[in-house]
Amino acid sequence: MSADYRNYIDGEWVESESDETIEVRNPADTTEVVGTYQRSTEADTERAIEAANDAAEGWAKTPGPERGRILRETAGILESRKEELVETLVREEGKTRSEAGEVGRSIDLFYYYAEKARDIGGPNKQSSGEKTELSVRKEPLGVAGLITPWNYPSAIPAWKIAPALATGNTVALKPASAAPGPARQLVEALDEAGVPDGVVNLVTGPGSEVGNTISSHPAVDVVSFTGSSAVGERVYETASGDQKRVQCEMGGKNPTIVMPSADLDQATEIVAGGAFGVTGQACTACSRAIVHEDVSEQFLDQIVAHAESIEIGPGLEDPDMGPHISESELDGTLEYIDIANGEGATLETGGGRPEGSTYENGYFVEPTVFSDVDPEDRIAQEEVFGPVLSVIEVGGFEEALEVANGVEYGLSSSIVTQDLDEAHRFVDETESGVAKVNDKTTGVELHVPFGGYKRSSTNTYREQGDAGIDFYTAEKTVYLNY
C-alpha cells in the first residue's frame, strides 16, 4: 500500500492548495504505486520561499558550530535509517541496491559539512598602513533555491542542502517529480534533528510552476540546478536576469580513450562500469569508447561479451543493471538506437527490450554497443542518457584527443594507458571539468570541486568541497582602523 506525502513548509507538513497529487510508480514494476506526492502550484512555492526568507536572518545569526550540530545530528538519523532510505531510492528510481550506495554519500556529505560549519571564515591580511586590521568574512547570501534531478535523488539534494545550511542560508527545495522520496527523507531527518521552522522547505511538483517560481522569485538570492542542458540554460537565463548567483550543472557526452599500452581487461571493466552502471543514467556516464586501432578489435570483443553478461532485473533483487526510470526515458534510448542504426553504425549487441515475464511491467532495456561509429554521428554527439556505448576507432593519441574534445559537452573524461606521457598530455588537454586516468568517468569524491566545461555547466561556480562553501557565501572585506 502506497503512502501519501506532503510538502514541508515553515516547519509543517502541508498539502498543496491544488488538491492534486502525483503518483510515483516503481519503474521495475509499474503496477506498484510507491507513493503519492503533492502537485504544487506557484502559490505553494511562494509560501515556501517566503518562509525561507522570514527565517533567513535568524539562521544566518546562528553560530556555525550550532548549525554544524544540526547537520551532524541529521547525518546520524540518516545513518540509522540507511536500509529504509536505500529501499525508497530503489523503488522510486530503479537503481540496484548496490547502486543505491549513494545514500552513504548523502550521509557523508552531512557529516562533512557539519565539520566545515565550524571554521567558515576568511583570511586576515596584512594592511599596507599602520593601525589597520584587514580581514575577509564569508557571509550567507540568503535564500537558496535548489532544483534537483531524479538520477541521484539522494546525493545531489544532499550536496546542495548541506553546504547551503552550513554557511547560514535557508533553503527552498524542489526535487524531481519522478523520484522525490529520497529528498523528502533528508528533510524528515533535518526536521527531527531540530532545524528551525522555515530554514528548510520542500515543495514537489512540475518544473513549469515550482521550478520556474524558484528561479524567478525576487526573494531567492542563489539558485543551484542539476539536470538537462536545455532546462538548465532556461533556469540560468531566468535566475540571472535579476542578478541572482546561479550555478547549473548539466549534461555530458563523456569519453574514455583506450590506448595500446592499456590492460584491456582493466579497460573493459572501466568502460563498462561507466557506460552501463546506473543504467547509463548519469551525467558522467561513458557513452564513447575511443579506441586505438591496434587494440580495437580485441577491445570490442571484450566489451560486447561484458555487455552480454550483464544481469538485468528489478533493483530490489540487486542485479547488475536495473530499469530506466520512466517510459519517456526508455523511449528516448530506443529512439537513439534507431538513429544509430539509420546512420550506419553496426549494432554489436543489445538494441532492444529484454524478453520475459520479469520485464513486461518495467522500463527495461538491454545494454547496447555500437561499432563503426563516425565521430560526427548523432549517437556520438548527443547525450543519450541510457546504457548505449559507441565504440570509435582512431589511429593515434592526437586523433583520440581531437575526437574526445569534439563535442559541445565537457563534464568528465578518462584515459586508460600505461604511458606516462599520454596520461599527462591527456590531463593537460582534455576539455572537461573532471579528468581521470585509468578510472571510469563516473564517481567523484565529495571534498573536491565538481563541475563541467562548455555546455555541461554555466561555468560559474563548482559544487562540493570548499567550492560548495564559496558558492553559497559572499565575501566582505573589513578595514578596521584603530
Distance CA 292, CA 256 (A): 11
pLDDT value at position 209? 94
Q: Are 89 and 171 part of one and the same domain? A: yes
Q: Are 35 and 98 part of one and the same domain? A: yes
pLDDT value at position 122? 84
Q: Are 302 and 426 part of one and the same domain? A: yes
Q: Are 179 and 311 part of one and the same domain? A: no
Q: Which domain holds residue 56?
A: 3-250+457-481
- 344 is a domain residue: yes
> What is the end-to-end Cα distance of the chain in Å, rounded?
69
Distances from the Cα of 471 to the Cα of 52, 85, 121, 313, 460, angstroms: 18, 28, 13, 40, 9
Q: Over pLDDT 70: what percentage of the chain?
A: 100
pLDDT tens digits, 184-211? 999 999 999 999 999 999 999 999 999 9
Q: Are 352 and 466 part of one and the same domain? A: no
Q: Are 99 and 226 part of one and the same domain? A: yes
Q: Is the pLDDT of residue 1 over 70?
A: no
- 240 is a domain residue: yes
pLDDT band at 119 (very low <50, low <70, confident <90, very high): confident
pLDDT tens digits, 49-98? 999 999 999 999 999 999 999 999 999 999 999 999 999 999 999 999 99
Q: Which residues contact 474 (CB under 8 A, 6 or more apart)?
A: 138, 139, 140, 141
Q: Is the pLDDT of residue 27 over 80?
A: yes
- 442 is a domain residue: no
Average pLDDT over the chain reads: 96
**What is the count of structural domains for the chain?**
2
- 447 is a domain residue: no
Residue 344: burial class (beta carbons within 10 Å; 0-12, 13-18, 19+): exposed
Q: Are 324 and 311 part of one and the same domain? A: yes
Q: Is the pLDDT of residue 129 over 90?
A: no
- 444 is a domain residue: no
Q: Are 98 and 173 part of one and the same domain? A: yes
pLDDT value at position 123? 86
Q: Are 65 and 180 part of one and the same domain? A: yes
Give the other-Cβ count within 10 Å of 164's Cβ: 29
Q: Are 357 and 403 part of one and the same domain? A: yes
State mean pLDDT over 151-179.
98
**Phi and psi angles of residue 222, each rounded to the nearest 5 degrees, phi first:** -145, 135
pLDDT tens digits, 211-263? 999 999 999 999 999 999 999 999 999 999 899 999 999 999 999 999 999 99
Q: Are 321 and 175 part of one and the same domain? A: no
Sort strands 453-454 and 409-410 into parallel, antiparallel or unpaired.
antiparallel
| Residue ranges in 241-370 assigned as alpha helix (H) | 264-276, 296-309, 327-343
Q: Cite the beta strand spans of 345-418 per DSSP E.
A: 346-349, 368-371, 388-394, 409-410, 412-416
Tell me the sheet residues that pair with 132: 481
CA neighbor of 315 nearest in space, from 101, 479, 12, 112: 101
- 449 is a domain residue: no
Q: Are 8 and 75 part of one and the same domain? A: yes
Read off the CATH number of the domain in which 240 is found: 3.40.605.10
C-alpha cell at 277: 552502471
pTM here is: 0.95
Residues annotated as catalytic are 283
Q: Is the pLDDT of residue 364 over 80?
A: yes
- 356 is a domain residue: yes
Read off the CATH number of the domain in which 383 is found: 3.40.309.10
Q: Which residues contact 360 (CB under 8 A, 6 or more apart)?
A: none
State mean pLDDT over 335-356.
97
pLDDT value at position 262? 97
- 452 is a domain residue: no
